[in-house]
Each structure stands twice: as structure tokens, then as C-alpha cells.
Structure 1
Amino acid sequence: MSSISASPVDGRSLRRERNRQDIVDALLSLIENGETEISAALIASKAGLSERSIFRYFDDVNDLYRSVCDQAFSKEIEYALIDDAGVGSLDMKIENFVNQRVRIYTMNEKIAPAARSFAFKNPVIKNQLVVGRKLLRTQIIKHFAEELSVFDKQQQQVAVAIIDSLTTFEYYDMMRSDQKMSVQAIKSVLTESIRKALQ
């Protein structure tokens, strides 16, 4: 009887992927915990690796942050789906839409502020935020297509801009952090505001 063991190459590849993932997890954890001054030494310490090894697994800082963004985005994507998108009465559409937005922002209460802070100095994160905002804006147009269809083009643009502004993370964070509103109170404000924007 013979057994086939993993080749040294396979072992190195697995170790490389594991170490690479440990670095991504470490950086994501630091961001989620509110760290704003993140050095290679801090990431390495969190990952349990040497500082020198970090850029053995990533081409540069942008490559590392790109991997972190990809992982965070993959976690968010399931939360970004609107239940019964574009279906049902206006009340049902608004309820599903508001629930989806609050779900996304509740999940990202820690990482979102840090991501926006890093975006000023990291083009990868900045681009990821731009892509995310575009996706959420497109959802508005598709989800409320029936209601928007009765408006002329200018009215449509205004309505979409209002709903888009009302349902940004920044607006959610202002109500949650500055105004100390409960999640249910925020949902009520968004529900009434969106309804008025579509009238």
C-alpha cells in the first residue's frame, strides 16, 4: 500500500496562502477596532509574523488594502441584497429598502468610519467606496423604478439624490452617534423621508 503525501511545493503554497490570509485578517481586525495609525509592524504583530514578511506576500500597501477591501466586500454582499427587490406596494418596498440599508450600516458601524478615514490617503479604499456608493445608488433606481417612472427626468434625479443622501452611512452615523437615535427611530425617519421624496 502506498500513500501520496503533499509535495514541498504544495506545503509552501498552503503556508503562503495561510500567512497571506492571516495578514489580511489582522489588518481588517485593526481597522474594525478603530485603529487609525496602522504600521507594518502593528499588522505583523497582530498576524504573528515578522514585519519583513508582510511584503513577501503582497506587492505593496495598495495590494494589501485591496485584498482587505475584497474580503470585506465579499462579507457585505449578502447583506446588500434587498428583499423582494422592486416588488410589492410602496410601503413594502420602502420597508424592505430601509431594512436593507440599516442592516448594512449596522454591520459596518466599526469599519465604515475607519474606511472613510483611510480613503483620503489610500486610492484603493477610496475607489472601493465609490464603487459601493454607485451600487447602492443603482439599487434605488431599480427598486423604485415604478414610482420614479411617473416623474420627469429632472424630478427623477432629484428624488434619487434625496433618497441616496438620506441613506448614506454618514447620515445613518449622524443619527446613531450624534443624535443617539435608536435603530427603530432611524428606520421611522428614513421611511417617512423616502415616502415624501417619492410623492
Structure 2
Amino acid sequence: MTHAKEPATQTQADGRHARAERTREAIVEALLALLSEGVVRPSAEQIAERAGVSRRAIFNHFTDLDDLLACAARRRMETVMALWPKLSREGTAAERARALAEGICRFHELVAPVRRAAVLFSYDSAFLAGQLREAARMHRAAIRAVFEPEIEAAPEEMRGVLLGGLAAAASFLMWEELRRNQELSVDEATRAVWIELEGMLERAARNQPR
């Protein structure tokens, strides 16, 4: 008799687990949708309404909103890293500057909604602060790889300055300044980044020791 009930009990447990996963998925997707619409810091009520669940359901599945945002950030990171541009190391400095500007600016525009929220929440979340530091490290390493000949050709005491300037010019913070504060279009902001990169490289080349 006991053995006869075991399959049914297992089926019920599997069903509960599947429903919990669907609810969790709906909550994460609701948060990402709100962020994409420009709601930088959605409330639990807004997320619950979008997901079609109760406010209590959110905190049954996540410790707090930071935990939810961290989960959403991991999900989005898995998606957007597939979109990280292949940055060429071939061609002239000007050609590489233009290619990098076009690729990395497209990436910034795609990740902007979640990145803005991550920056805001990072003041209270060690996890998100760590994620942003890692993103900054990867960004700097990518810039160095693309412009390694020009950086190495600069005087030793200027290499860090040149790398830092190039990384800042192509950074998400620069993109936010151009797109939100200066109100440039995507094409205009991309061109501004390209001009800044190319200008720094040209100035560095002129100042090389003879």
C-alpha cells in the first residue's frame, strides 16, 4: 500500500518544483522587462504585478530585492556576453579605434537598462559591486589588447595614462554621458567615442620619443 502511493507522491513533488521554477522565472523576467522599459529601481509591487504573482511570492523565492537583481544580472550576463564584440587587433590604429567604438558602443546600448540598475544597487550589494569591478577589469583588458602596440610604444611613464584614457573613453559611463546627458543618438555617440579614441592615439604617437 505504501509503495503504491510513492509514484503519486513523487509526481506531486515534481509538479510543485516545476511550478516554483515557473514562478521564479516569471519574477526574473518581470524585473528584466521593467528595467528594459527604464524603471531603474522597480518596487516589489511593480515586479509582482508584472509577473502575475503576489508580493509574498517574490520573497518566497528570493531573500530580498538585491538577491532578485543579482539573479537577473547573472541571467542577463549569460545572454549579453554572447553579444560581446570580437575586437580586432588588425589594421591601423584609426581602423581599430573605429571598429572598437562601433562594437563596444552597440554592447553598451544593449546592456544599459540592467547596467544602470546594477550601478544603483551596487552601493548596497557586495555581489553587484564585485560584478561591476570584474566588468571594469575585462573592459580594461580588452582595450589593452586592441591597442597594445600603441601603448607599448608610449614612454613607460605614460602607458598607464594612455590605457586609462582609452578605457575611460570607451566606458559605459562615457556612453551614459553621451546618450543621456548630452542626448546624442546612438550613431552620434558612437562617433564621439571613435573620435576621442583616435585623437588620444594620434597624440600619443606624436609624443613618442624620437
The two structures share one fold, judged by TM-score above 0.5: yes
Counterpart amino acid of residue 81 in structure 2: I
1:70-81 equivalent positions in 2, closer than 5 A:
70-81=74-85
Residue 36 of structure 2 corresponds to 32
- The structure that is helix-richer by fraction is 2
1:165-184 equivalent positions in 2, closer than 5 A:
165-184=168-187
1:4-19 equivalent positions in 2, closer than 5 A:
7-19=11-23
Counterpart amino acid of residue 14 in structure 2: D
Residue 95 of structure 1 corresponds to 98
1:113 aligns with 2:124: no
Q: Using a 3 Å threshold, how does the CA distance of structure 1 residues 185 and 60 change in structure 2: closer, same or farther?
A: closer
**For the Cα contact (< 8 Å) 1:23–1:44, is it kept in 2?**
yes
Q: TM-score, normalised by structure 2?
A: 0.80
Q: Using a 3 Å threshold, how does the CA distance of structure 1 residues 177 and 59 change in structure 2: closer, same or farther?
A: closer
Q: Using a 3 Å threshold, how does the CA distance of structure 1 residues 56 and 65 change in structure 2: closer, same or farther?
A: same
Q: Using a 3 Å threshold, how does the CA distance of structure 1 residues 72 and 153 change in structure 2: closer, same or farther?
A: farther
Q: Which moved more, 1:169-178 or 1:29-38?
A: 29-38
Counterpart amino acid of residue 182 in structure 2: Q
Work out the CA distance in 2 between the residues paired with 1:188 and 1:76.
23
Work out the CA distance in 2 between the residues paired with 1:33 and 1:89.
39
**Aligned-residue offset at 1:79:** 2.2
Residue 132 of structure 1 corresponds to 135
Residue 156 of structure 1 corresponds to 159
Superposed CA deviations along residues 93-143 of structure 1, whole A, max 9, x for unmatched, are 212211122101221343433332232333333322222121111101112
Length, aligned pairs only: 195
**For the Cα contact (< 8 Å) 1:23–1:47, is it kept in 2?**
yes
Q: Percent identity?
A: 24
Work out the CA distance in 1 between the residues paired with 2:193 and 2:41.
34
Q: Secondary structure at the match of 2:120?
A: helix
Work out the CA distance in 1 between the residues paired with 2:186 and 2:67.
36
Counterpart amino acid of residue 132 in structure 2: L
**Aligned-residue offset at 1:19:** 1.1
Counterpart amino acid of residue 157 in structure 2: Q
**For the Cα contact (< 8 Å) 2:85–2:104, is it kept in 1?**
no
| Shift >4 Å, 4+ stretches | none
Q: Which moved more, 1:63-72 or 1:187-196?
A: 187-196
**Aligned-residue offset at 1:69:** 0.8
**Aligned-residue offset at 1:77:** 0.7
Counterpart amino acid of residue 81 in structure 1: P
Q: Secondary structure at the match of 2:27?
A: helix
Unaligned stretches of 5+ residues in structure 1 = none
Counterpart amino acid of residue 43 in structure 2: S
Q: TM-score, normalised by structure 1?
A: 0.84
Q: Using a 3 Å threshold, how does the CA distance of structure 1 residues 62 and 173 change in structure 2: closer, same or farther?
A: closer
Work out the CA distance in 2 between the residues paired with 1:98 and 1:182.
14
Unaligned stretches of 5+ residues in structure 2 = 1-6, 206-210
